């Protein structure tokens, strides 16, 4: 299948080439060898064609059979050198391009891991994945096919034009005119084909989006008997794609036949005129023979060079998008306070140690280089915090709250009130603009993000499970956990029972985000994953909002065990799940409008009372 040309062009070729050069520089030797071998291979081809003149004039014309045999032997040796050079550079180019792509892919993934959550909030998964698929594939295609082909085509064009001019400058004037016309035709047809290929890609994207939407909503389609309307919609998109594809392939398909026809005309014209020149002694037969072979092959490198140049520009556009992601600012981590295991002495003092003791402390190095060990307890406090995602609209406004070690703090309020934002700030997924957040008396901005998040676990409403066994997914909370620890965490989360009833138990393979499990079972695994991390602070972000009441009771038992002796922040739509919280914060448009325990808030008969009695809806 022919590759499709698009209108994608790099915005800054110089910058993109500079970024790409940093990767190519690591393989400069290999690429240099490829370039030399391409030159050798191409020059052998040019030399062989030029030597037709020598064979006819010096050997066949003179009847020198012995000289002819020797010269043929020489040509065989030279062509073997050319063939060997071609085989070597082709294989070397494949290995080199694979290494370069591996390095780019590695750096792209590594950099993505360091980007802030805000980047993923503002870029779709499909957009990010396209950097690893479409854009990298385009770059790989260009490396495998364009680098050596561009060099080869350029040398062939320059070499051919030079040699035909040496053989006959009179005939070359005709060839130059035909090649110029050929170039104009290629440019016109390429421009047209790129336009329609762009329309084809757009139509294909719309059709694929329509198919995905209809497949995802097939139950709704059938419930409302809209199969006929769905088919009509598909036919419209399909027809649009057919028209665009027909026009695109029509113009792209005209390029080669037109160029070939023009080259035939050029060849015929030059043959006739060259014959007259030879008859009248203005040109020898050997030169004419070599000349005609050169003319016969002039169209191929011109067409090839133009196409490869377009492919290269498309690849540079893809590389530009890849490097743009790599230039995104990494997550800022200016903290110096780290988490360290400690040993509790009999007098209550703490001593830093290397082995796991079950006790942790914040290692706080002060300006005078003195080291303070602050016990990790889970005391989290907000001090007049104001925050905005976009720098314009405040999502939180002057929020102050505290959660003492072991307390359960609940947040309720309508969607967009700022509940999840509070938990995002505790994890330092975002940094506050005004005010401060302290953890065990230390500003979270001073704590290393790795250490901070090591002390916090989150159970989300949308549970994400990775491809692997159930044990591996639980162990994700503590990668070096033993099987006994995995089982203990599962029992704590009330997940052990259903796991043991699976055919392979803890070795059951999960795929497709745990599609072979129910929503409740996935949630129990998420709780077990949080339990095995054994954090002092736990965040439950609407963890049971999509679970039926019966399953919710089972999950609540697991969460109750998990919450023992931990500071817990709970976000819940079902107010029944927060009745036993030490403090309930009612948020509205980024402000805490009510706070207290369940009984206190009910007695106030304010917003919480309205929510609890159903007089006011959360959404």
Per the CB < 8 A criterion, the answer to whether 171 and 161 are in contact is no
Distance CA 436, CA 422 (A): 12
SS3 state at 341: strand
Query: Which tens digits make up the pLDDT trace of 362-397?
Result: 888 887 888 888 888 888 999 999 998 877 888 899
Q: What is the pLDDT of residue 10?
A: 63
Instruction: Mark whether 191 and 292 lie in a shared domain.
Output: yes
CA distances to 72, 91, 236 from 86, in Å: 21, 9, 49
Q: Beta partners for 583?
A: 409
Q: What is the CA radius of gyration of the chain?
A: 36
Contact (Cβ atoms closer than 8 angstroms) between residue 154 and residue 146: no
Query: Do the Cβ atoms of 460 and 424 come closer than 8 Å?
Result: no
Whether 356 and 388 map to the same domain: the answer is no
Task: Please count the other Cβ atoms lying within 10 Å of the Cβ belonging to residue 74.
Answer: 11
For residue 5, being part of any structural domain is answered with no
Structural domain range at position 479: 380-612
What average pLDDT does the chain have? 83
Which element (helix H / strand E) includes 228? helix 227-279
pLDDT at 483: 92
Assigned domain for 7 exists = no
CA distance 89 to 33: 8
Look at the chain and report how many structural domains it folds into.
3
Q: What is the 3-state secondary structure (H, E, C) of 459-509?
A: EECCCCCCCEEHHHHHHCCCCCCCHHHHHHHHHHCCCHHHHHCCCCHHHCE
**Among 305, 326, 347, where does a domain finish?**
326
Mean pLDDT of 62-68: 81
**One domain, residues 452 and 526:** yes
Q: Do 469 and 605 have their domain in common?
A: yes
More confident residue, 335 or 44: 44
Q: What is the mean pLDDT of residues 514-526?
A: 82
Summarize the confidence of residues 261-269 as an average pLDDT: 82
Q: Quick one: residue 295, left, alpha or beta (phi over 0 = left, psi -120 to 50 = alpha)?
A: alpha
Task: Report d(CA 237, CA 205) in Å as an integer.
Answer: 10
Kindly report the number of other CB atoms within 10 A of residue 162's CB atom: 12
- In sign, the C-alpha dihedral spanning 308, 314, 316, 322 is negative
Q: What pLDDT, on the 0 to 100 scale, is given for residue 481?
A: 87
- 303 and 356 in a single domain? The answer is no
Mean pLDDT of 410-414: 84
**Residue 364 placed within a domain:** yes
Shared-domain flag, residues 583 and 456 = yes
For residue 539, the surrounding DSSP H or E stretch is strand 537-541
What CATH number does the domain containing 466 carry?
A: 3.40.50.300
| Per-residue pLDDT tens over the stretch 219-242 | 778 877 878 888 998 999 899 889
Angle, alpha carbons 488-565-567 (nearest 5°): 110
Task: For residues 368 and 311, state if they share a domain.
Answer: no
pLDDT at 92 over 50: yes
Q: Can you tell me the distance from the alpha carbon of 475 to that of 459, in angstroms, rounded to the nearest whole number?
A: 15
Mark whether 55 and 92 lie in a shared domain. yes
Q: Is residue 6 part of a domain?
A: no
Does 436 lie in the same domain as 322?
Answer: no
Judgement on whether residues 430 and 534 belong to the same structural domain of the protein: yes
DSSP-assigned states of every residue in 599-615: HHHHHHTSHHHHHHTTS
Are the CB atoms for 533 and 477 separated by under 8 Å?
yes
Closest CA to 506 of 471, 482, 474, 479: 471
Residue 331 within a domain? no
Do 146 and 195 belong together in one domain?
Answer: yes
* Same-domain pairing of 207 and 76: yes
The full DSSP string for 78-129 is HHHHHHHHHHHHHHHHHHHHHHHHHHHHHHHHHHHHHS-HHHHHHS-HHHHH
Residues near 573 by beta carbon (within 8 Å), at least 6 away in sequence: 542, 545, 618
Pairing of strands 394-403, 408-413: unpaired
228, two tokens: 């006929």
Task: Cite the beta strand spans of 318-424 per DSSP E.
Answer: 338-344, 350-352, 360-365, 371-375, 380-388, 394-403, 408-413
- pLDDT-based confidence at 360, cuts 50/70/90? confident
Element (H, E) at 244: helix 227-279
The verdict on residue 496 lying in a domain is yes
Of 312, 346, 375, the one marking the end of a domain is 375
Considering the domain boundaries, does residue 2 fall inside one?
no
Supply angle C-alpha 435, 437, 438, rounded to 5.
135
Q: What is the pLDDT of residue 76?
A: 92
- Name the strand (E) or helix (H) holding 296: helix 285-296
The set of residues, in sequence order, having a beta carbon less than 8 Å from that of 91 and lying 6+ positions away, is none
Taking the alpha carbons at both ends of the chain, their separation in whole angstroms is: 52
Looking at residue 224, which CATH number applies to its domain? Answer: 1.20.1560.10
Least confident of 2-16, 116-130, 249-263: 2-16
Please indicate, yes or no, if residue 4 is contained in any of the structural domains. Answer: no
Look at residue 5 and tell me whether its pLDDT is greater than 50.
Answer: no
Task: Provide the percentage of residues in the chain whose pLDDT is more than 90.
Answer: 12
> CA 390 to CA 371: how far, in whole Å?
38
Strand boundaries in 232-348, DSSP class E: 338-344
Is the pLDDT score of 509 beyond 70? yes
- Whether the pTM exceeds 0.75: the reply is no
């Amino acid at each position: 299948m022919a590759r499709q040309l698009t209108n994608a062009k790099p915005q800054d070729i110089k910058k993109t080439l500079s970024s790409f050069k940093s990767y190519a520089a690591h393989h400069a030797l290999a690429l240099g060898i490829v370039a030399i071998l391409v030159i050798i291979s191409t020059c052998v081809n040019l030399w062989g064609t030029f030597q037709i003149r020598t064979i006819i004039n010096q050997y066949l014309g003179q009847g020198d059979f012995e000289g002819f045999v020797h010269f043929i032997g020489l040509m065989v040796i030279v062509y073997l050198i050319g063939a060997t050079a071609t085989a070597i550079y082709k294989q070397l180019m494949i290995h080199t391009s694979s290494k370069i792509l591996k390095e780019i892919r590695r750096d792209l993934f590594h950099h993505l891991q360091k980007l802030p959550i805000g980047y993923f909030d503002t870029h779709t998964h499909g957009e990010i994945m396209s950097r690893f698929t479409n854009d990298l594939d385009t770059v790989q295609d260009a490396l495998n096919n364009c680098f050596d082909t561009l060099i080869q085509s350029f040398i062939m064009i320059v070499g051919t034009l030079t040699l035909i001019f040496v053989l006959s400058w009179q005939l070359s004037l005709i060839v130059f005119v035909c090649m110029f016309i050929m170039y104009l035709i290629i440019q016109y047809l390429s421009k047209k084909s790129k336009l329609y290929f762009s329309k084809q890609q757009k139509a294909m994207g719309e059709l694929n989006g329509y198919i995905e939407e209809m497949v995802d909503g097939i139950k709704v389609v059938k419930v409302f008997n809209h199969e006929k309307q769905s088919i009509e919609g598909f036919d419209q998109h399909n027809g649009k794609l057919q028209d665009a594809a027909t026009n695109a392939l029509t113009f792209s398909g005209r390029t080669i036949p037109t160029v070939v026809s023009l080259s035939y005309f050029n060849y015929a014209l030059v043959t006739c005129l060259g014959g007259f020149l030879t008859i009248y002694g203005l040109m020898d037969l050997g030169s004419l023979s070599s000349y005609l072979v050169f003319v016969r092959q002039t169209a191929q490198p011109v067409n090839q060079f133009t196409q490869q140049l377009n492919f290269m520009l498309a690849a540079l556009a893809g590389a530009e998008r890849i490097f743009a992601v790599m230039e995104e600012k990494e997550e800022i981590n200016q903290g110096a306070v780290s988490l360290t295991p400690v040993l509790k002495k009999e007098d209550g003092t703490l001593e830093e140690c290397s082995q796991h003791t079950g006790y942790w402390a914040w290692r706080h190095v002060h300006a005078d280089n003195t080291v303070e060990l602050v016990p990790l307890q889970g005391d989290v406090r907000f001090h007049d915090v104001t925050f905005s995602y976009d720098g314009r609209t405040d999502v939180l406004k002057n929020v102050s709250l505290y959660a003492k070690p072991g307390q359960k703090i609940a947040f309720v309020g309508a969607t967009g009130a700022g509940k999840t934002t509070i938990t995002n700030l505790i994890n330092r997924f975002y940094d506050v603009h005004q005010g401060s957040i302290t953890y065990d008396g230390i500003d979270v901005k001073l704590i290393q993000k790795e250490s901070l998040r090591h002390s916090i676990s989150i159970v989300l409403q949308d549970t994400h499970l990775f491809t692997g066994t159930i044990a591996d997914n639980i162990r994700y909370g503590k990668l070096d956990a033993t099987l006994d620890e995995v089982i203990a965490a599962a029992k704590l989360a009330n997940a052990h029972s259903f796991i043991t009833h699976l055919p392979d138990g803890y070795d059951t393979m999960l795929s497709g985000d745990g599609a072979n499990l129910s929503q409740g079972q996935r949630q129990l695994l998420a709780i077990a994953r949080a339990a095995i991390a054994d954090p002092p602070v736990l965040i439950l972000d609407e963890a049971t909002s999509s679970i039926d009441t019966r399953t919710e009771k089972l999950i609540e038992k697991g969460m109750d065990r998990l919450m023992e002796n931990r500071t817990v922040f709970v976000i819940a739509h079902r107010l029944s799940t927060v009745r036993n919280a030490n403090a309930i914060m009612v948020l509205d448009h980024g402000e805490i409008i009510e706070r207290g325990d369940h009984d206190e808030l009910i007695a106030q008969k304010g917003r919480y009372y309205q929510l609890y009695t159903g007089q006011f809806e959360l959404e």
